[in-house]
Amino acid sequence: MEIVNLFVGPGNNVVSTKGKIKKFDEDFRTTKAPVDEVIPLAVLISRSSASAAEIVAGAIQDLDRGIVVGQRSYGKGLVQVTRPLSYNTQLKVTTAKYYIPSGRCIQTIDFSHPNEDGSVGIIPDSLISEFRTRNGRIVKDGGGITPDVVVNPETLSQISTELYLRNLIFDYATRYYWSHPEIKSPEQFSITDEDYADFSNFLKERKFDYRTFTETSLNELIVNAKKEKYYELYKDLFTELQKDIAHNLDQDLTIFRDEITRLLEEEIIGRYFYEGGAIAWSIKKDEQIIKALEILNDKGKYGSILTGKSAPVLRANVPRASSCRYPSQPLTVLPALQKRTFHI
């Protein structure tokens, strides 16, 4: 509530809790003078944003105080308390749900049918209700906070995923740290051609190899073909396919150099400048931040989204009040989730 109050005047409802017993329902309102009520504002959310982060994003969206950029949030909107039991155990009891200014509940309706990546699946339209923001824009419940501007997370290639999961990015960053006493600032540091060639040699020293999803799928197909006694019939075709789709490490290191370089840079910078440095570096790389800044610097886009004249579009625009003033002060990006996230 205090974070929202930095940008919203006193007396505004930020969140309410409602349960079965009405007398225990509560409204939480802003009470202090804000720091700034007019500066353009963007809140960044991801699939992992939950609870308090969703209250901030949802309240800013419902009050048309700023735009929300990223992916649909997790949808954790339950008020829970614990009660002590015997044998040093506790019982967690859900007593209420969180509701944001438009009247919608943050809680996701169905967690039982998640997507492959663990995020919440599609909610049927029949279970979703419509609500209105202060400016009359339509927002919906049933599944966390839906951003005004959708920016999906980067999906890593198979080689990058394997390098990350096998700690080879981590190990090389450690080796780099011990062989380089200092590096440039997070904003200026970058992997050179020599560094990348050294990383390639490092992988060969470690005898790194992996299997692509395509190779795995073909191997599974061959196993099934043998079970169904079709293998001998298509043996030559399978052999040719295996040759054609076999991965080439040097080739893949070239094709996916950009994303591998980003992983290396972030890990190496973290060795010298810790989390703060990694965040400073990510500001110039993160697609959500880049998109948020693009809209914040475009008065037309920003205003049209907040007045409801622009629908949510993939990597597009967002909503704001028609009477907005645009001060010459620095624009503000308020991240609900600061850590850069890759979708693996």
Q: Which domain covers residue 290, as residue numbers? A: 2-154+286-335
Residues 109 and 183 in one domain: no
At residue 146, the 3 state secondary structure works out as coil
Q: Are residues 204 and 308 in the same domain?
A: no
What does the block give as tokens for 147?
């951003």
Number of domains in the chain: 3
Q: Is the same domain home to 126 and 169?
A: no
- The enclosing domain of 326 has a CATH number of 3.90.226
SS3 163: helix
Q: Is residue 342 part of a domain?
A: no
Q: Is 192 helix (H, G, I), strand (E, B) or coil?
A: coil
Among 190, 50, 183, which Cα is nearest to 107's?
Answer: 50
163 and 195, same domain (yes or no) = yes
Residue 338: predicted pLDDT: 40
Strands 313-314 and 149-150: parallel
- Same domain for 52 and 107, yes or no, is yes
Residues 37 and 184 in one domain: no
For residue 94, being part of any structural domain is answered with: yes
Quick one: which H or E segment has residue 134?
none
Determine the Cα–Cα distance for residues 162 and 292; give it in Å rounded to an integer: 31
Residue 341 domain flag: no
106-151 tens-digit pLDDT = 998 876 666 665 655 667 777 789 999 999 999 999 889 999 999 9
- If asked whether residues 23 and 141 sit together in one domain, one would say yes
Within-domain flag for 330 = yes
pLDDT at 165 over 90: yes
Residue 344 lies in a domain: no
Asked which of 17-31, 164-178, 260-274, 317-331 is least confident by mean pLDDT, the reply is 317-331
* Cα dihedral value 59, 64, 69, 73, nearest 10: 30
pLDDT tens per residue, range 197-236: 999 999 999 999 998 888 889 999 999 999 999 999 999 9
| 29 and 164 inside one domain | no
Q: Which residues neighbour 2 within 8 Å (Cβ) at sequence distance 6 or greater?
A: 32
Q: Tell me the percentage of the chain whose pLDDT exceeds 90.
A: 74
48 inside domain: yes
Establish if 340 belongs to a structural domain: no
171 and 92, same structural domain? Answer: no
Q: How confident is the model at residue 153 (pLDDT cuts 50, 70, 90)?
A: confident
**Backbone φ and ψ of 296, nearest 5°:** -60, -30
Residues 189 and 300 in one domain: no
Q: With respect to residue 205, please indicate whether it lies within any of the assigned structural domains.
A: yes
One domain for residues 232 and 272: no
With 0-12 / 13-18 / 19 or more C-beta atoms within 10 angstroms meaning exposed / middle / buried, residue 80 is exposed
Same domain, 234 and 262: no
